[in-house]
A and B are shown apart, each in its own frame.
Chain A
Amino acid sequence: DAKTTQPNSMESNEEEPVHLPCNHSTISGTDYIHWYRQLPSQGPEYVIHGLTSNVNNRMASLAIAEDRKSSTLILHRATLRDAAVYYCILRRNFGNEKLTFGTGTRLTIIP
């Protein structure tokens, strides 16, 4: 699986937008970009995924660079509940259920 690079940690103020970057310069054409997060004392949970176009859902937005070598997860209005480790993961489109987790970004929300 292609590798991703994320900052180890980030801080944001409550109720402000958060932009979490991810670099994936060796991404292949069939790799989907997935984001998961892990809240304290819980298993990871799916946040969002995309292939080429920007994506929005109720949790977040995903902005994908035109060359697909980087992406940004956007939390529009951070709450204390968003404090978690966020993982950016590349996955092939069919089969292969394996998720290869990196070290992720630990997001701290400041009240």
Chain B
Amino acid sequence: KAGVTQTPRYLIKTRGQQVTLSCSPISGHRSVSWYQQTPGQGLQFLFEYFSETQRNKGNFPGRFSGRQFSNSRSEMNVSTLELGDSALYLCASSLFLGSTYEQYFGPGTRLTVT
């Protein structure tokens, strides 16, 4: 099975612009989660989608949004970019192990805001 794929892998944007990142989960996985990783804050949960509905949300401003399509692919959007949004954005899809979930992470999209 192919793993979680994220596009693009690298992105450079300027302050004030908006950006859309894409994630394709492992075939059959219906849950997709997004995380932001920065040197200062570490790995932080952004939101999770299941069957096209946002099921969980982290503590990020409304500039960060996402959606999920009927084929489980997901996108996240960041509007009015700030320098502090420079980070590695990771997407993960979930597999139910019978009692809990295992998350499979993609390689991430490295966003640099200048």
Contacts and interface: CB of A to CB of B under 8 A. Distances in A.
Interface in B37-57: 42-45, 48, 50, 55-56
A102 B94 CA distance: 20
Query: Contact size class for B?
Result: 20 to 34
B66 interface: no
Contacts of A46: 102-104
A32 B45 contact: no
Interface residues of A, number: 24
Contacts of A96: 56
A97 B105 contact: no
A99 interface: yes
Contacts of A51: 99
Contacts of A93: 99-100
A100 interface: yes
Contacts of A94: 100
B42 A103 contact: yes
A98 B105 contact: no
B22 to A, nearest CB: 15
A99 B90 contact: no
B49 to A, nearest CB: 9
B97 A97 contact: no
Contacts of B105: 42-45
Interface in B50-72: 50, 55-56, 58
20 contacts: A36-B103, A42-B105, A43-B4, A43-B90, A43-B92, A43-B108, A44-B92, A44-B103, A45-B104, A46-B102, A49-B97, A87-B43, A96-B56, A97-B101, A98-B45, A98-B56, A98-B58, A99-B33, A99-B43, A103-B42
